[in-house]
Amino acid sequence: MRRVVIATQSRLFHLTGRTGFTHDGSGSVYTKLFESEQPIVHELTRTVQGAHSALAVSPDHEDSNPHDEGAPDRAFAWLTSQGVFHGKLLNFPTDSNLGTKVFSESKMLTRSQITSAEGKGRRKVASEMIEDILLTQWHIASLIGGRVVITNRLTGELVSEHDVLGPGQKSIGFSVDLQKNTFWLFSSTEIFEIAVRDEDRHIWEIMMRTQQFETALLHASTRTQKETVAAAYGDHLAAKGHWNEAATVYGRSNKPFEDIALSLIDNNQPDALRQFLLTRLATTKKAAIMQRIMLASWLVEVFMAKLNSLDDTIVTQAELSEDLNPTESRKLLDSVRKEYHDFVNKYKNDLDRKTVYDVISSHGREGELLYFATAVDDYNYVLSYWVQRERWTEVLNVLKKQTDSDVFYRYSSVLMTHTPQETVEILMRHPDLKPRSLIPALLEYNRTFPGTAASQNQAVRYLNYVIYQLNSKDSAVHNTLVSIHASHSSSDESGLLSYLQAQGDEPYYDPDFALRLCIQHHRTLSCVHIYTSMGQYLQAVDLALSHNELELAAVIADRPLSNPQLRKRLWLAVARKIIPQSNGIKAAIDFLKKCELLKIEDLIPFFPDFVVIDDFKEEICGALEDYSRNIDNLKKEMDESSQTASNIKVDIAALDHRYAIVEPGEKCYVCELPLLSRQFFVFPCQHAFHSDCLGRRVLEQSGMGKSSRIKDLQVQIHKGLVSGPKREAVVAELDSLVASACILCSDFAIKRIDESFITKDDRPEDWIL
């Protein structure tokens, strides 16, 4: 679609249509337009001969493409003898009526309005002719004589006037570069550029005065300008009764907050007030914490009042207004509630919890109260709220969504009391909890547990999960399970026994604590098991026998396999209980045969004073035969011992005649001098040493105690301190110490393994190979 505007002295033509070449491809592309379309004509009623005529179009906008569909409308100006006819080159509607609309919305700026201006102390007459014009984005530049007059095309007011050409100068061109937005004046000798700076700085104000508020907001550049336009726009909408739209605009204005709020309240516009507060809250700076809190708190009050109003309308089946029935009220209620939810989610950080709780509670809005508490993650409040009202299903629903351990610890006691099974199921989904912190709740639940079967006890169920599934080693947890099992009203010990047996030899529960509880609550079998695990077999057997648990006592008596003496003692205790109670001695003896350590003679003391031995005659005969065999073995051993003693006596007598042969010239193995030169010792290994050489070497290798004793004995002998039999005893002791073993092939040699072959008296070079 193309547009053609043609200007003459008295007429202005406007054509719109499609362009294109003819069938043969010749001619202008506009030929088809001119042939097929009829122009819309704007004609002047009268003209002045010799007046200038010109057509100007505003340049392209710097930030838009003129060929885009959404490009802003450009302006045109037609210089005539009457003045300047100007308007917008509208783009819609795209039909033949476009020209009519363009001309109908255009207006005439008379020649007198442009030329009747004063400058340089002289008055310009209205009869001056306008030689030429051009358009900027918002102004008309008129060339009158040698001066350029700038007029605002929106208001027709003179903006500025500039004397450009000197006397005698004449312009030969007044034009604009539409692409670059530059404006030029040519004379025969000079070129002048008309510089445009910030020409739209007052446009917002003009648009505001003409009530074109949306456009004014677009051209307002500073915050103050935008707020001023918004205030005027809001007043305009309020005057028309469009309160909701006015409230949105007021929220971005600089009009005093209290004036707007009072105006909305006085005119009974709660919806508009809510919209105003929301907008003002959205535009308030984050740093203004107190203002944001007050706005948000007031909004909560407004929301609650609106919701209550809608509820009342629905309940009473009254109409909210002429056009709103209860069904529509329900829809509006849902819409306002959703708006409240969005508000809470968006501005929850600006809401003071205590204030909001008080406001919503005063209106009795339970759902909104809980939604806010959930939105700000105040689950303690939500849980406390439902707990106070004993709404256990709601409490559990909230608890399922929790990850904070403290929440579980805080509410576990009350929940275990009222909904134990569901609570335990939730607890079992959180293995990260510390079971120790839940013990008070479990014990409180167990105290009031009405059931008779331990398998139905939810505390036992949870503790079993912790112990067997989570492998807890916390002694407090284990002791708690023992305590619950032991104190249960049922006489069944299977649960407790199963637990105790599963613990093995290194239990995590406290055995003393468990034993005390089991004794207190008469848990016999469990006591026996605990005694056994503690190694107290005597107490375990005695307790089992005291309750006639003979089989259990026998099993325990067989436990200390590494201590036969204790095992026999335990079985004797069992026998002492069994024999008097047995219907027949034979049956008792058969039972006691399980222990091979018991003999018939061990059992006879437990028999009655008068008893027929027919039942255990075989056992007595067997015992006597065993004794006979033992006596024969002992006799044989005695004969062998007597023969051994005789042999030893013979060997001792032979020792007195034992001797060793010393060859002539044999030397001492220490000093290598002839052995017979002085007293010597000969060992069975045929090593021979002088007595003094042997004594010296033994002193070197002996410990402190033995060395001191040898020296002491030598002093007594050499100095004659002893005589007679005593001297012989000292000599014998010295010989036994010195000549107890050969120093070359006994332990003495082994102890010298770390000594070097080269002594301090040797020369190392003699050892070099």
pLDDT one-digit tens code per residue, 43-86: 988 888 778 899 999 988 776 665 666 567 889 999 998 899 99
Instruction: Write down the pLDDT at residue 125.
Output: 52
**Dihedral, CA of residue 287, residue 288, residue 290 and residue 291, to nearest 10:** -150
**Residue 382 resides in a domain:** no
Q: What phi and psi, each to the nearest 5 degrees, are found at residue 27?
A: 85, -175
Domain boundary among 627, 658, 689: 658
The DSSP call for residue 354 is H
Is residue 494 left, alpha or beta, with left meaning phi > 0 and alpha meaning psi from -120 to 50? alpha
Domain boundary among 138, 171, 199: 199
Instruction: Write down the pLDDT at residue 320.
Output: 45
Q: Please indicate, yes or no, whether residues 608 and 622 belong to a single structural domain of this protein.
A: no
Nearest to 472 by CA among 521, 426, 439, 516: 439
Q: Please indicate, yes or no, whether residues 514 and 648 belong to a single structural domain of this protein.
A: no
Domain count across the chain? 4
**Residue 336 resides in a domain:** no
Reading the block at residue 227, the tokens are 């707020």
Nearest to 466 by CA among 497, 435, 421: 435
Q: Please indicate, yes or no, whether residues 565 and 629 belong to a single structural domain of this protein.
A: no
Spans in the chain with pLDDT lower than 70? 22-27, 63-71, 116-127, 317-326, 451-452, 558-564, 568, 571, 574-624, 655-656
CB under 8 Å to 184, separation ≥6 — which residues? 173, 174, 175, 176, 177, 191, 192, 193, 194
Instruction: Write down the pLDDT at residue 23.
Output: 65
**Residue range of the domain that includes 529:** 435-617
Q: Please indicate, yes or no, whether residues 626 and 749 belong to a single structural domain of this protein.
A: no
Q: Please indicate, yes or no, whether residues 625 and 577 belong to a single structural domain of this protein.
A: no
**Residue 390 resides in a domain:** no
CA–CA distances in Å: residue 668 to residues 530, 680, 683, 688, 761: 74, 8, 12, 6, 19
User: Could you tell me if 133 and 77 are in contact, meaning their C-beta atoms sit under 8 angstroms apart?
Assistant: yes
Instruction: Write down the pLDDT at residue 55.
Output: 93
Q: Please indicate, yes or no, whether residues 612 and 637 belong to a single structural domain of this protein.
A: no
Global confidence as pTM: 0.58
Q: Please indicate, yes or no, whether residues 707 and 622 belong to a single structural domain of this protein.
A: no
Q: Please indicate, yes or no, whether residues 680 and 637 belong to a single structural domain of this protein.
A: no
Q: Please indicate, yes or no, whether residues 641 and 601 belong to a single structural domain of this protein.
A: no
Q: Please indicate, yes or no, whether residues 512 and 637 belong to a single structural domain of this protein.
A: no
**Residue 67 resides in a domain:** yes
Q: How far apart are CA 723 and CA 725, in angstroms?
A: 6
Instruction: Write down the pLDDT at residue 84.
Output: 92
Burial per residue of 662-672, b for 16 or more beta-carbon CB atoms within 10 angstroms, e otherwise: eeeeeebbbee
- Find the farthest-apart pair of alpha carbons in the chain and give their distance in angstroms, rounded: 183
Residue type, 112: S
Q: Please indicate, yes or no, whether residues 625 and 478 belong to a single structural domain of this protein.
A: no
Q: Please indicate, yes or no, whether residues 701 and 611 belong to a single structural domain of this protein.
A: no
